[in-house]
């Protein structure tokens, strides 16, 4: 059996204007009313967001797992999925430090007056990221990754093969699973149609809402985010 479908898909969730230093400066000066934009102004928002994520794990009664260096996150998630018995919900919340692009403040001097002022510049830093691993009754396993540094960009990772398995399970159709795909199926006729059903409209709708039991804390209210999709296709086939 051979079908064509989406493999792993990453949806980038971000506020376009705040991917540039000028947009961030405008946010703090004209939206928040500060005279200058500074990375120090991001700190209270960041602390509140981290506290909300930690509280979310407690409310869901799920483990907060500190990923170790070199540890495969997929292996950790697979172990939690084996023990998960509910139809859908949050498996655990993972935490890892990763290198990411950030905006920092440097002091500059006015050539005419000699006065100094803060200026935002692009840099990199090791920043904590939260991974919220879930199972959805429609999409199957997925995770949301949140950066804890302003502007708090996020990624939603879906897997088209896991979506297909979930759809077959929901319909009571038996299949033989591979690690990332299916080898055979009792009723192969609907398989390609199910793969094709994972449309841009369906993905966009899910990215904007998600299931009620898998919702995570909202990103800080710093603007309306957009979702950009990055994916790759593959053809799982029988041997």
pLDDT exceeds cutoff 80 at 29:
yes
pLDDT exceeds cutoff 70 at 166:
yes
Tokens for 9, please give them: 């898909």
pTM: 0.83
Burial class of 178 by CB neighbour count within 10 A (0 to 12, 13 to 18, 19+): middle
pLDDT of residue 92: 95
> What does R_g of the chain's alpha carbons equal in angstroms?
21
Segment 96-147, tens digit of pLDDT: 999 999 999 888 888 888 888 888 999 999 999 999 999 999 999 999 999 9
| Domain spans in the chain, listed from the N-terminal domain onward | 5-234
Spatial distance between the Cα atoms of 23 and 15, rounded to a whole number of angstroms: 10
Task: Return the residue matching tokens 């090791």.
Answer: 126
Residues forming a β-bridge with 40: none
Query: Percentage of the chain surpassing pLDDT 90?
Result: 51
Residue pair 88/67 in contact by the 8 Å Cβ criterion:
no
Measure the CA angle with vertex 209, ends 102 and 157; round to 5°. 55
Other beta carbons within 10 Å of 32: 12
Give backbone dihedrals phi and psi of 170, rounded to 5 degrees, phi first. Answer: -60, -30
Is residue 179 very low, low, confident or very high in pLDDT (cuts 50, 70, 90)? confident
pLDDT exceeds cutoff 80 at 94:
yes
Mean pLDDT value of segment 211-239 = 48
Residues forming a β-bridge with 125: 100
Strand pairing class (89-109; 64-66): parallel
Spatial distance between the Cα atoms of 78 and 174, rounded to a whole number of angstroms: 21
Residues forming a β-bridge with 107: 118
pLDDT of residue 235: 37
| Range ranked top by mean pLDDT from 93-102, 174-183, 201-210 | 93-102
Rounded to 10 degrees, what is the CA torsion of 149, 49, 138, 206?
A: -70
Higher pLDDT, 213 or 133: 133
pLDDT of residue 237: 33
């Amino acid at each position: 059996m051979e079908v064509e479908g989406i493999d792993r898909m990453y949806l980038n969730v971000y506020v376009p204007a705040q991917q540039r230093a000028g947009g961030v400066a405008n946010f703090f000066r004209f939206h928040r009313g500060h005279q200058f934009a500074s990375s120090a102004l991001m700190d209270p928002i960041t602390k509140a967001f981290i506290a909300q994520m930690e509280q979310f794990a407690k409310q869901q009664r799920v483990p907060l797992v500190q990923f170790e260096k070199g540890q495969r996150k997929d292996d950790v998630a697979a172990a939690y999925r084996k023990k998960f018995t509910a139809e859908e919900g949050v498996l655990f919340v993972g935490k890892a430090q990763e290198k990411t692009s950030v905006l920092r403040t440097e002091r500059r001097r006015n050539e005419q007056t000699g006065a100094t002022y803060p200026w935002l510049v692009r840099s990199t830093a090791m920043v904590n990221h939260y991974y919220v691993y879930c199972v959805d009754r429609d999409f199957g396993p997925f995770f949301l990754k949140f950066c804890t540094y302003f502007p708090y960009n996020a990624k939603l990772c879906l897997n088209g093969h896991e979506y297909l398995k979930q759809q077959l399970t929901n319909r009571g159709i038996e299949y033989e699973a591979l690690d990332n795909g299916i080898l055979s199926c009792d009723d192969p006729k609907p398989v390609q149609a199910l793969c094709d059903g994972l449309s841009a409209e369906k993905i966009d709708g899910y990215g904007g809402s998600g299931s009620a039991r898998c919702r995570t804390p909202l990103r800080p209210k710093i603007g309306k985010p957009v979702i950009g999709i990055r994916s790759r296709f593959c053809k799982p086939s029988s041997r």
